[in-house]
Structure 1
Amino acid sequence: MSTTHGSDLSTWPTGRLLAVAARLVEQRWVAVLGGMGLTHAGLIALHTLREGPLPQRTLARRCQVTDQTMSRTLDRLVKAGFVTRSPDPADARRQLTRLTDEGRTAHDRAVRAEPALLGVLGDDAAFRASLLELITQLSTDG
C-alpha cells in the first residue's frame, strides 16, 4: 500500500482511513462543484427540487438543514440562475422555489462528473452498496 507523509497506510485503523478518504473526496468534490458555480449544499437543494417546486421550509426539512442555512443556499442559487422563487398560489405568505433549466443542467453536469471523481474506486455500484449498508447500519445502531 502507498504511503502518505512517510506513514504506512496499511497500518492505519479503519476509522482513520475512512476519515482521510472522506476528507480527500470532499476536497475534490468541492473543487469540481465550485468550477460549476455550485456548493455541496446547493447540489443537494437542486437534487431535491428535481421533483417539483417546494416552499423553503419544506426544502430545508428534506435537505436536513435549518431554514437559515437553506435561505443562504437559495440566495446563491437564485443569483446563479439555478432556481427561482415565486409566490405560492395556495398560500400567498410563502414562496415556492423552482428549478430552472440552468439549474437542471447544472445538476445533470454534477451528476455526470461524480463517476470521474470516484473512478479510482472501480465498481461504483458495489462501492455505493457498501456505503449505503455502512451508513444504514451505523444509523440504526445509535
Structure 2
Amino acid sequence: MNSARNHPDPVAVGTLLRHVLELLDGDVAKVYEEQGLAEYRPRFSPVVRALLAEGPLPVRDLAAAVGVTHSAASQTAAQMARAGLVTHTPDPLDARRRLVDLTPKARALLPRIEAEWEATVAAMAELDAELSMPLGELLREVAEAVGRRPFRERVAAAYRPPRGGPMP
C-alpha cells in the first residue's frame, strides 16, 4: 500500500490541513449518524453553542461569535435551516436584518448534541496528549502569526519569478 495516498505531502500544508479536518470531522459526523442524527453536521455545534449563549443573532454577529466569515456562517445557517434546526426571523430592532435562532427540534436534540460535544472534547484531549503540543494551541498560534503578517506577503517575499516572467 502506498502511504503517500493516505498522507498528503507535509509541505502542502493546505492539503494536509484539509486532510486532518476531513479525518476529524468525518469521524464526528459518523458518531452523529450512529446516534440517529444523520442530518447534523460537526460544523453546526459552534453555531448551536453560540445561539445558546447569546440568543438569536444576525448572521454577522453569529459569524463573529463562531469565528468564521459572514459567508461561512450564512451557509451553515442555511444548512441548519434546511435540517429544521434554526429559523430566520425578522429582527424587531432592524427590519433589514434577520435573526438566526434555534428551533424546538434543535432544542430537543440538545442533550444528545451536548453529550457528543463532551465526548469530542475528551477525545481531543486524548489526541492532544499524543502530540508535541495541543492542536488547538498550535492553530491559534498559526492564526495569530498570519494575522500579524498575511501569508500572501510571506509568499510574495519568497517568490523568485522564473527568468523573464512576472509574479502570477
TM-score under structure 2 normalisation? 0.56
The one of 84, 89, 111 equivalent to 1:86 is: 89
Which is bigger in relative contact order (C-alpha 8 A, separation at least 6)?
1
CA distance in 1, matches of 2:45, 2:98: 20
Aligned AA (2:106) = G
SS at match of 1:136: helix
Larger radius of gyration: 2
Q: Which has the higher strand share?
A: 1
CA distance in 2, matches of 1:118, 1:61: 22
User: Closer, same or farther in 2 for the Cα pair 1:125/1:53, shift >3 Å?
Assistant: farther
User: Closer, same or farther in 2 for the Cα pair 1:132/1:85, shift >3 Å?
Assistant: same
Kept in 2, the 8 Å contact 1:49–1:99? The answer is yes
User: Closer, same or farther in 2 for the Cα pair 1:94/1:132, shift >3 Å?
Assistant: same
SS at match of 2:136: helix
| CA offsets 1:87-114 (integer angstroms, 9 cap, x no match) | 1111111111112232234344233124
TM-score under structure 1 normalisation? 0.64
SS at match of 2:43: helix
Gaps of 5+ in 1: 8-13
CA distance in 2, matches of 1:121, 1:95: 35
Match of 1:140 in 2: 144
User: Does 2:102 align with 1:99?
Assistant: yes
Query: After superposition, where does 1:1-142 map in structure 2 within 5 Å?
Result: 5=1, 22-34=21-33, 35-36=36-37, 37-51=39-53, 52-63=55-66, 64-67=68-71, 69-114=72-117, 116=119, 123=126, 130-142=134-146
Aligned AA (2:26) = Q
Kept in 1, the 8 Å contact 2:25–2:42? The answer is no
SS at match of 1:40: coil
Aligned AA (2:73) = M
How far does residue 121 in structure 1 lie from its aligned partner after superposition? 6.6
How far does residue 73 in structure 1 lie from its aligned partner after superposition? 2.5
CA distance in 1, matches of 2:145, 2:25: 25
Kept in 2, the 8 Å contact 1:77–1:83? The answer is yes
Which segment is superposed worse, 37-46 or 131-140?
Answer: 131-140
Aligned AA (2:32) = L
CA distance in 1, matches of 2:75, 2:145: 33
C-alpha root-mean-square deviation of aligned residues, in Å? Answer: 3.7
Match of 2:163 in 1: none
